[in-house]
Chains A and B, each alone.
Chain A
Amino acid sequence: NAGVTQTPKFRILKIGQSMTLQCTQDMNHNYMYWYRQDPGMGLKLIYYSVGAGITDKGEVPNGYNVSRSTTEDFPLRLELAAPSQTSVYFCASSIDQPQHFGDGTRLSIL
Chain B
Amino acid sequence: GQQVMQIPQYQHVQEGEDFTTYCNSSTTLSNIQWYKQRPGGHPVFLIQLVKSGEVKKQKRLTFQFGEAKKNSSLHITATQTTDVGTYFCAGPISSGSARQLTFGSGTQLTVLP
Contact = CB atoms under 8 A, between A and B. Distances in A.
Interface of A: 31, 33, 35, 40-45, 48, 50, 58-59, 90, 92, 94, 96-104
A90 B43 contact: yes
Interface residues of B, number: 27
Interface of B: 1, 4, 6, 9, 31, 33, 35, 41-45, 48, 88, 90, 93, 97-106, 108
Given A101-B43, A102-B42, A43 B103 contact: yes
A48 B98 CA distance: 12
Nearest to B31: A97
B42 A42 contact: no
Contacts, number: 57
12 contacts: A35-B103, A42-B88, A43-B90, A45-B101, A45-B102, A48-B100, A59-B1, A97-B31, A98-B45, A99-B45, A99-B101, A101-B44
